[in-house]
Structure 1
Amino acid sequence: MSFFQIILIYTCIYALMAIGQNLITGYGGMLSLCQAGFFALGSYATAILTTTYGWNFWLTLPVAVLISAICGFAIGMPTLRLKGDYLAIATLGFGEIVRNVINNWDSLTKGPMGIQKIPQAAILGFKFNPYKKTAFLIMLVVVLAICYFLFRRLARSRMGRALAAVREDEIAAASMGINTTKYKVSAFILGASVAGIAGSFQAVYILSVTPGTYTFMVSIMVLCMVVLGGMGNFLACILGAFIIQFISYFPQLTGLTNVIPAQAKQIIFGLILVVMMIWRPQGIMGREKFDYSGEKRKKGAKDATRN
């Protein structure tokens, strides 16, 4: 049961990143591969502020979000003209830049050795001990539920419709008066912010951070979660995160670590992408469809009743 709780905890952490990736890729149609960079920024922001300056974990969360959002803006603006493979390469480069800066800025990040002994998250004296996983899991589930609710509401808003229009045909969207620059950059900022939140919780769960954790394979894994579950569907991203994490920890869960090498999961992730793109490109659950016309009819009926 304890090991299954570990899978669920990592599912929640990676599902947060997948939700951000889904907004960028699933709704905005932009192939971004830099979630690992934002993930690292959130982790190190929390690690540095809690260990060096003695901040409470919850106070570091807004800082992690702000730093990730600023970097999301920084990568979003220069890459607006890029599409497809070119955008993927540019964003992948950003993620590697972040990792290398962290790896070499010894005075701040302690370089390859990383930062150890991160204080546990606490509320009113109650500590969310990562070794007692139930309370920590409940905290993550609550945070994930809040983010899911907010992003799903966002998808039904003007911004969600605008991003969908940009994804389908950016030129047509611009000709209809949609500010494509505004919405694409906003998607990067929000996607980066929620990845920063995931990074903060990763730091207080592991209680240490090292640069080797935030490789480009993390970004690939997050993309696999979105593609597997279904792009444009936030609930599907959570399902995809669970499936990928279950696959990752399946050898340990079944005691087959001597039979299935750790490197095999990278091959499995690649196969998942290939298989899903060929046989079911819409993912397991497919894209979520909203009935905006129905909402308009309901709103019109309410207005008529009031009058």
Structure 2
Amino acid sequence: MPEGKIIKALSGFYYVLVDGELIQCRGRGVFRKNNITPLVGDEVVFQAENNLEGYIMEVKERRNELFRPPIANVDQAILVFSAVEPDFSTVLLDRFLVLVEFNHIEPLICITKMDLTNNEQKQRLEAHKEQYKAAGYEVILTSSETEGGIEQLYPHVENKISVFAGQSGVGKSSLLNVLRPDLELKTDDISSHLGRGKHTTRHVELIKIGNGLIADTPGFSSLEFTGIEAEALTSCFPELQKASENCKFRGCFHISEPKCGVKQSVESGEIPDYRYQHYVDFLQEIKDRKPRY
């Protein structure tokens, strides 16, 4: 039976790409019974009489999967955050980074709307850029209006499956429209009443950009650390993980333990205070999480 990749899921149909052709498929009835939900990005085995009447017979093993947004086998997460409107948030960015790190997906930080910043905002964002680069992250400052920094994105998306993720209203669809103008994706201004973007992306779909595929995903503003245990949180902060090699005690949580390499790095300025504080807050959130049975 032929194999292909799901590049779009909509209203119970899965659109499978094989040899440049799209086959419209449904999932087998047994999938629901076995609690299997095919995701965009899945490699699948299918059978089809024609391009409109196919059935997915098997979902191949996934390398990784995300639930918000629902997508599988992602190589890279392009975390899109606006410089202003809405204002850049390190705590929200760090929540995204923790989830991406936990799922073993390579992150790329993309800060948009740089054309709207004043000198003070620009300097602050440049400082954040250097701090995140020091932690091991790639950071690109862009503007969809002036197309500044856009050329830096192209090499990162080649031959990869990437997911665009971020808050509503940060300019994900605008960025995709610049990367591929023929898409003409719908964009909306920020809602002045709510201070956040209107949801313009309704489903997950993989879009071809050069030799890569990018998923434009519905925006969202809250993220839970479901499935992440307290012991795993340090590994989701690369600079904390590195500094923890100098902790005296194995299993150190870097809160009240003596001779902690992480706290020493914070005191020396190697690790920014806000990154450490986010770690502390996230750790408490995980510890306070009610168990699910």
TM-score calculated relative to the size of structure 2: 0.24
TM-score calculated relative to the size of structure 1: 0.23
Higher-Rg structure is 2
With a CA cutoff of 8 Å and minimum separation of 6, indicate the structure with the bigger relative contact order.
Answer: 1
Q: Pick the structure with more helix per residue.
A: 1
Q: Pick the structure with more strand per residue.
A: 2
